[in-house]
Chain A
Amino acid sequence: MSPEGDLPLSFLRPGGTLLVAMGGLILLALLARVLLRRVLGGERYDRWTAWLEGILFCLILVVMLSLSGLQIVLRNLFRSGLLWIDPLVRALVLWLAFLGALTATSHARHLHIDVLHRLLSARIGGQVSRVLSVLSSICCAFLANGAYAFLRDEYQYGTSPFLGIPSWLTQSILFLGFGLLTYRFLVQAIWPAPRRGEP
C-alpha cells in the first residue's frame, strides 16, 4: 500500500528507529577508534588519517579544477561545452563543504565567537568546550535525521539532473556528513583536540 515499501531500509523511520540505529553505529565507531589507536599507536593513527584526508581533498580539487578548466577551454575556444560538467562540479562543492566541516571539527577550527571563552580559565574552558561538543553532536544528529527524511522524499520524487545520477545520491552527503559530524563532535567531547586560538 504505502509507497515507502519500495524504499531501501524502509524500516528505519526518521525520528525513531533511525536515531537508534545511528546511535548504535556511532558507539561501534567510537569502539573501533579506541581499538585502532591501540593497535596502530595514537601517533600513527593521526598521521594516517591526516594522509587520507589530504588525498581525499586533493582528489576532489583535482577533479574540480580539471573539469571546470576543461569547460572554460571548451567554451572559449570551441564555443561548446559538456552539459554534465557544471552540475557535477557544483555537487562536488556540497561534498567539499561537508568534508571541510568534518576536518574543521576534528581540528577544533569551526568558525565561532570567542568572547566569553577567553575570559574562562583553561580548566573550566576545557570543560565548557566538552559540553558544547556534546550539544553540537546532538544538534548534528537531529540534522542527520532531517537529512534522512529529506533523502527519502528525494528518492521517491527526485530527478537525475546529470549523467543519470539520481539527485538523492549526490545529496546523500547531507546525511553522511551530519552523521559523521555527530560522531566527530562526540570524539571531541571525549578526546578534545587542542583548540587553536587563531586561523
Chain B
Amino acid sequence: MSWLVIPLLVVLALLGTPLFVVLAAAALIAFAIAGISSGAVLTEMTRLGTSPILLSVPMFTFAGYLFAESKTPERLVRLTRSLFGWIPGSLALVAMIACAIFTAFTGGSGVTIVAMGGLLMPALLKEGFSKGYSMGLLTTSGSLGFLFPPSLGMILYSYVASQSASGMALPPGAAPEIDRLFLAGLLPGIFLIVVLSALAFREGRGGALMRRIPLREGLKDVLPSLRAAAWEIPLPVIILGGIYGGKLTVTEAATVTALYALIVEVLIYRDIPWKRIPAIAVESMTLVGGILIILGCALGLTNYLIDAQIPMQILDWTRGWITSKFLFLLVLNILLLVIGSLMEIFSAMIVVPLIVPIALEYDVNLVHLGIIFMTNLEIGFLTPPFGLNLFISSFRFGRRITEVYRAVIPFLVVLLLALMVITYWPAMSLWLPGLYGGK
C-alpha cells in the first residue's frame, strides 16, 4: 500500500504542487507508517533556526536583488568591455563574464537572464551575432555563475552534504566545507567559460568576429569605467579576502555584502530610491522563504530516509550492477542532468543526502562531488524539454520555446564534453583546495 504513495506524490509534484508540500507530505506519511509522531518532521525543521550558515541565504539574496535593481549590470558590462573589447568577438566573452559574476551574487539563474538579458541581447545583435547564437549564449550564461563564489547553491550543498556525512569517516581534504568548495569551483568555472568562448570564435568567423573595439579605444575607457564602478569593484576583494584571510566567515561575508550593497546602491549611487526597498525586500524574501521551507521539509524527510536506511538499500541495489567508479560517475551524471532539467537549484538539494553515502562508497571526494553536482545542474537547466533557463529565456525574449531549444544545442554539446572532463579529472577541482591546506 505504502508504495502507492510514491507515484501519487510524483504525479502531484509534476502537476505543479509546491515542492515543499510534496516533501512534507512524503515525510508525514513515512513517519505515520513508521508509527512516529508527526512532531518528528517539525523537530528537524527547527534546524533552520539554529544553523549559522543559513543566514547567508537571505543576505546574499537581498544583496543580489539590490544589484539587479540598480545600474550595476550596465557598469559591469561597460568595464568588462573596455578590458576585453579588443579581442575579436569579445562581446560574447563579456556577456559570459558579466553574467557569471552576476549569477554568483544572486544565486538564482532566472534573475540573471531577466536582469542582464535586456541589456545584452540588443548589444549582441548590433555587434552582428546571429539571433539564435545570442539567445543560446544568454540562456547558457544564466547559470554560469554556479561554480563561482559566493554561489548560493554551493553554500546549500555544503550544508546538506555535511549534514548527511556527519558521523562518517571522511578521508583528509574530503569534507565538503564551503571555503574548500569555493576554491574548487574556480578552475572548472573558468574552464567552462573558456570552452564556450570557442563557440563564440566559430560563430564570429563571419562578420561579428571582425567587429571589435580597437585596443587603444578600449583602453581609453578603462579608467572612466573603473571610476564609474569604483564602489562595486572592491566588493569581491573584500568578500574573498575576508573569507580566505580568516577575517570573515562565509555568513559574515554575506552580511557584509548585503550591507555594502545597501549603502552603495542606495546612498552612494542612489540607483535605488528608499521607497523601492520594501518591495525589493518582499520580492527577495519571497524567494528565500520558498528556498528555506523546502530545505526544512527536506531535512524532515532526510531524517526519515536515514533512519530507514534508504541510502544503504539503494547502495546495495546499485552494487549489483555498478561495478566501477567510472560507471558510477556516468550514472550519477545522467541522473543529475535529469534532476537539473526538472527542478531548480535549491529543490535539487533533496537528492544530496541520497547520493553522499553512495559517492563515499565509490571513493568520490565530496568536494569534487559538489563540483560535479553544480556543473550538472548548470547543464540540466539548459536541457530540453524542461530545463528552467529555456522557459525563462523564451519568456524574457518573447521567442517560441522550440526556437530556444534549437539555439542552445551547440552550447549543450560543448558543455557536456566539458562535464566529462570535470567529472573524470578530479585534479582540476581539487588542486586549488589542496594548496589551501590539506586538513
List chain A positions with a Cβ less than 8 A from chain B. Answer: 50-51, 53-55, 57-58, 61, 64-65, 68-69, 71-72, 76, 86-87, 89-91, 93-105, 107, 109-117, 128-129, 132, 135-136, 139-140, 142-143, 145-147, 149-150, 153, 170-171, 174, 197-199
CA distance A54 to B343 in the complex (A): 29
CA distance A90 to B251 in the complex (A): 11
Contacts of B256 in A (CB 8 A): 69, 72
B329-370 vs A, CB cutoff 8 Å, 1 = contact: the mask equals: 000000000000011101100000000000000000000000
Task: Indicate if the CB atoms of A150 and B39 lie closer than 8 Å.
Answer: yes
Please tell me if B50 contacts chain A, counting CB pairs below 8 Å: yes
User: What are 17 A-B contacts with C-beta separation under 8 Å?
Assistant: A54-B278, A54-B282, A64-B55, A71-B252, A72-B256, A90-B54, A93-B49, A109-B290, A110-B19, A113-B386, A139-B24, A140-B24, A146-B37, A149-B42, A171-B49, A174-B45, A198-B391
Known contacts A76-B247, A101-B20, A143-B38; decide if A69 and B255 are in contact (CB<8 Å). yes
Selected from A94, A136, A199, the residue in CB contact (under 8 A) with B18 is A136
Task: Indicate if the CB atoms of B19 and A100 lie closer than 8 Å.
Answer: no
List chain B positions with a Cβ less than 8 A from chain A. Answer: 12-21, 24-25, 28, 37-43, 45-46, 48-52, 54-55, 57-59, 62, 108, 110-111, 114, 247-248, 251-252, 255-256, 258-259, 262, 277-279, 281-282, 285-294, 296, 342-344, 346-347, 386, 391-392, 395-396
Task: Indicate if the CB atoms of A111 and B16 lie closer than 8 Å.
Answer: no
Task: Indicate if the CB atoms of A91 and B392 lie closer than 8 Å.
Answer: no
- Chain A interface, >50% SS class: helix
Known contacts A65-B259, A114-B16, A146-B37; decide if A109 and B391 are in contact (CB<8 Å). no
Minimum C-beta distance from B18 to chain A (A): 4
Selected from A76, A99, A117, A145, the residue in CB contact (under 8 A) with B16 is A117
Contacts of B391 in A (CB 8 A): 114, 197-198
Task: Indicate if the CB atoms of A86 and B52 lie closer than 8 Å.
Answer: yes
Known contacts A54-B282, A132-B12, A198-B391; decide if A93 and B55 are in contact (CB<8 Å). yes
Task: Indicate if the CB atoms of B16 and A116 lie closer than 8 Å.
Answer: yes
In the complex, residue of chain A having the shortest beta-carbon distance to the beta carbon of B32: A142
Selected from B17, B114, B344, the residue in CB contact (under 8 A) with A136 is B17
Contacts of A107 in B (CB 8 A): 286
CA distance A102 to B355 in the complex (A): 31
Minimum C-beta distance from A192 to chain B (A): 12
Task: Indicate if the CB atoms of A98 and B289 lie closer than 8 Å.
Answer: yes
Known contacts A90-B55, A146-B39; decide if A100 and B288 are in contact (CB<8 Å). yes
Contacts of B16 in A (CB 8 A): 112-114, 116-117, 128-129, 132
Q: Which of A104, A111, A142 has the most chain B CB atoms inside 10 A of its CB?
A: A111
CA distance A94 to B40 in the complex (A): 17
Contacts of B40 in A (CB 8 A): 146
Task: Indicate if the CB atoms of A100 and B21 lie closer than 8 Å.
Answer: no
Known contacts A50-B282, A93-B48, A149-B37; decide if A100 and B18 are in contact (CB<8 Å). no
Task: Indicate if the CB atoms of B252 and A68 lie closer than 8 Å.
Answer: yes
CA distance A166 to B344 in the complex (A): 37
CA distance A129 to B16 in the complex (A): 8
Selected from A65, A101, A149, the residue in CB contact (under 8 A) with B290 is A101
Task: Indicate if the CB atoms of A100 and B287 lie closer than 8 Å.
Answer: yes
Contacts of B18 in A (CB 8 A): 104-105, 110-112, 136
In the complex, residue of chain A having the shortest beta-carbon distance to the beta carbon of B23: A139
Task: Indicate if the CB atoms of B49 and A58 lie closer than 8 Å.
Answer: no
CA distance A54 to B59 in the complex (A): 16
In the complex, residue of chain B having the shortest beta-carbon distance to the beta carbon of A120: B15
Contacts of B62 in A (CB 8 A): 61
Minimum C-beta distance from B12 to chain A (A): 7
Known contacts A128-B16, A174-B42; decide if A139 and B25 are in contact (CB<8 Å). yes
Minimum C-beta distance from A98 to chain B (A): 7
CA distance A96 to B62 in the complex (A): 12
Q: Which of B41, B281, B286 has the most chain A CB atoms inside 10 A of its CB?
A: B286
Contacts of B37 in A (CB 8 A): 146, 149
Task: Indicate if the CB atoms of A100 and B285 lie closer than 8 Å.
Answer: yes
CA distance A175 to B45 in the complex (A): 12
Task: Indicate if the CB atoms of A113 and B342 lie closer than 8 Å.
Answer: yes
Minimum C-beta distance from A126 to chain B (A): 11
Contacts of B288 in A (CB 8 A): 96-97, 100
Task: Indicate if the CB atoms of B342 and A57 lie closer than 8 Å.
Answer: no
**A65-B258, A90-B50, A132-B16 given. 13 additional CB < 8 A pairs?**
A54-B282, A58-B277, A58-B278, A61-B62, A61-B281, A65-B255, A71-B252, A72-B256, A90-B52, A99-B285, A105-B18, A113-B386, A199-B287
Task: Indicate if the CB atoms of A98 and B293 lie closer than 8 Å.
Answer: yes
Contacts of A116 in B (CB 8 A): 14-16
Minimum C-beta distance from B265 to chain A (A): 14
CA distance A117 to B28 in the complex (A): 25
Closest 9 CB pairs of A and B: A100-B289, A54-B278, A94-B49, A146-B38, A110-B18, A97-B292, A199-B110, A150-B39, A101-B289
CA distance A147 to B40 in the complex (A): 9
Task: Indicate if the CB atoms of B395 and A198 lie closer than 8 Å.
Answer: yes
Contacts of A91 in B (CB 8 A): 49-50
CA distance A97 to B294 in the complex (A): 10
Contacts of A115 in B (CB 8 A): 14, 342, 386
Task: Indicate if the CB atoms of B21 and A57 lie closer than 8 Å.
Answer: no
Known contacts A58-B277, A100-B289; decide if A153 and B39 are in contact (CB<8 Å). yes
In the complex, residue of chain B having the shortest beta-carbon distance to the beta carbon of A102: B289
Contacts of B255 in A (CB 8 A): 64-65, 68-69, 72
